[in-house]
Amino acid sequence: MLFNKVSIIGFGLIGSSLACCIRLHNLAKEIVAVDCDRTVCEKALELGLADSAMVDLRNGVEDSDLVILAVPVGACGAVAETIRYSLKEGAIVTDVGSVKSAVVEAVQPHIPAHAHFIPAHPIAGTENSGPEAGFAELFDGRWCIITPLPETDIQAVEKITKLWEACGSTIEIMDVKRHDLILAITSHLPHLIAYTIVGTATDLEDDTMDDVIKFSASGFRDFTRIAASDPVMWRDVFLNNKEAVLEILQRFNEDITGLQKAIRKGDGDYLESAFTRTRDVRRQVIDAGQGG
């Protein structure tokens, strides 16, 4: 057994999926669900995903070997501050956030010397939220990026590695800053774009929107799936990875302005060459086993 007692704070899609995995693979003796929403706590018990459930953070982490912060990234700092005096000797605190620099800055100062903080980010998710959205296969075959700090205890890193490997994930160790840049490109900008394009469509007249829904299979529908992701989680991602997101968004804006001009001027050569060079990326994605 990897852990004696595990506390999962925030019992949404990721938290409940982790509970499913821990149960399925027998990774802990006891699971505590901690969520500020009492109905979520009740649901966690009802689904049999936790041995106990509570809204109180301090009680929730008592005696736990592992405390998983599965709340929106903007909430991690306040949670860490609240639980700091309740963490037991040798406790490992980890998170699952899509942003690492801001989380490390917010959480690390509150981690007592007798505990360890291991920042982690499973590259997995669906557009569904809440405790009922969780399932044990969510992390299977997916990457989990761990961004240990220079001073991090190596044995604690190993335990978190084992946890994610048991969930079926492959581990990548990465620098905090680099994580935030890569994710800004692969995840944060795509989500921002998808939210924008679906938002632009919802401003159309009702009957136009009806036809947009009806014929959405021609491209639009792929964006609606992404734009259905949890609003609070994503609000926090953008607020907490501001710098990297704004930088990559700036580049995107320059590129779309170039294409816009080419369309306006009827510059077919520009368009064709722009559309040709992106083709090869798909092949690379498939070759990397990420074709989905």
What is the footprint of a second copy within residues 10-39 (CB under 8 A)? none
Work out which of 85, 150, 151, 276 binds a second copy, going by CB under 8 A.
276
Evaluated on CA atoms 35, 40, 44, 45, the torsion sign reads positive
Which residue lies nearer to a second copy by CB, 94 or 98?
Answer: 98
Nearest to 75 by CA among 195, 243, 227, 239: 239
Work out which of 143, 156, 173, 175 binds a second copy, going by CB under 8 A.
143
| Beta-carbon count within 10 A of 147 CB | 22
> Can you tell me the distance from the alpha carbon of 61 to that of 59, in angstroms, rounded to the nearest whole number?
6
Stretch that binds a second copy, among 88-96, 107-115, 155-163, 245-253 (CB under 8 A): 245-253
Q: Are 184 and 158 in contact (CB under 8 A)?
A: no
- Which residues, 35 to 94, sit near a second copy by CB under 8 A? 74
Which residue lies nearer to a second copy by CB, 34 or 192?
Answer: 192
Which residues on adjacent β-strands are paired with residue 93? 67, 117
145 binds a second copy (CB under 8 A): yes
Which residue lies nearer to a second copy by CB, 35 or 236?
Answer: 236
Residues that bind a second copy (rule: CB under 8 A) add up to a total of 94
First to last CA, the chain: 32
Work out which of 55, 123, 149, 166 binds a second copy, going by CB under 8 A.
123
Evaluated on CA atoms 54, 55, 58, 61, the torsion sign reads positive
- Which residues, 190 to 219, sit near a second copy by CB under 8 A? 190-204, 208, 211-219
- Which residues, 150 to 179, sit near a second copy by CB under 8 A? 172, 178
